[in-house]
Structure 1
Amino acid sequence: MSAIELAPGETGEPRGGVIPYLMVDGASKAAALYQKAFGAREVARHPQDDKGRTMHLHLYINDGSLMLSDPYPEYGRPHEKPGSFTLTLCVDDVDLWWERASKTEGMVVTMPLERMFWGDRYGELTDPFGIRWAIVGR
């Protein structure tokens, strides 16, 4: 695999106060999907092992970090169905983000984008890995 090219000013360092680290069955496929759906940029990756698994993958999405890994049951990290959580993207241009994500193959709209009682527009999608995403903005 070739080296990852970072944009000027990017270091590949973690961004954000709390960084989600997802274990999904198919971390490389998830990263590719997130690039299409959310404009993610890959900034670090460990090479795949002989079973096609990726131990660590780091993305920037909406100026924050998201990290991914495939399951490694032999190290006590088996695959588990995602729990009850939602990854929320607070964005400036909600229409642009919603349009891109909702039209990405594999993403399922679970709550249409609409104006909510608190004033923002909000919608939810679920990806093929069982992760629920919310997009919110004015």
Structure 2
Amino acid sequence: MSETTTPPVTTGVTPYLTVRGASDASAFYQKAFAAQELMRQADEKSGKLIHCHLRINGADVMMSDEFPEYGMGLGDGPNGVTLHLQVDDADAWFERAVAAGATVTMPLADQFWGDRYGQLKDPFGHSWSIGASKK
């Protein structure tokens, strides 16, 4: 996608990820989760992404590369956050993410609360859960 500077309007709470390799992460999320990249702004000197806005399954996720010089560093990497996708077909979404390079951390299975549910870790260290109501 070409660089854009007009931010889409959001409401509610939007996850904002700090990523090592945000351009690669955007490409992965597009392939794994059918994300649409709505906006990107890159630093002219380093080429790192200052801001990237994605829409995944109707919800917004924003991210940037890490910039430790501005207090936006990862330290040992992301932890304590799981991004959840409630979808129409958990098997299809899960399989697509694994095919794109995600690692299974909890196999997809029918759960006691009524969802088909599993968890993955993307190549950038973020945890994702995928669930669909069993019909």
Tell me the residue number matched to 1:101: 97
CA deviations 1:15-47 (Å, max 9, x no partner) are x52110000111111000000000000001112
CA contact (8 A) 2:116 2:132 kept: yes
d(CA) in 2 for partners of 1:27 and 1:49? Answer: 15
d(CA) in 2 for partners of 1:96 and 1:17? Answer: 28
User: What runs of 5+ residues in structure 2 fail to find an aligned partner?
Assistant: none
d(CA) in 2 for partners of 1:59 and 1:77? Answer: 19
d(CA) in 2 for partners of 1:37 and 1:118? Answer: 26
Runs of 4+ in 1 over 3 A off after TM superposition: 1-4
1:1-138 equivalences under 5 Å are: 2=2, 12-14=8-10, 17-80=12-75, 81-105=77-101, 107-138=102-133
Output the TM-score relative to the length of structure 1: 0.86
CA deviations 1:78-120 (Å, max 9, x no partner) are 2331121210000112222122112112x10111110011111
Q: Aligned Cα RMSD in Å? A: 1.7
Output the TM-score relative to the length of structure 2: 0.88
Higher strand share: 2
User: What runs of 5+ residues in structure 1 fail to find an aligned partner?
Assistant: 5-10
- Aligned residue pairs: how many? 130
Give the aligned residue type for 2:86.
Answer: C
| Identity fraction in percent | 50
Give the aligned residue type for 1:45.
Answer: R
Structure 1 residue 52 displacement after superposition: 2.4
d(CA) in 2 for partners of 1:101 and 1:22? Answer: 18
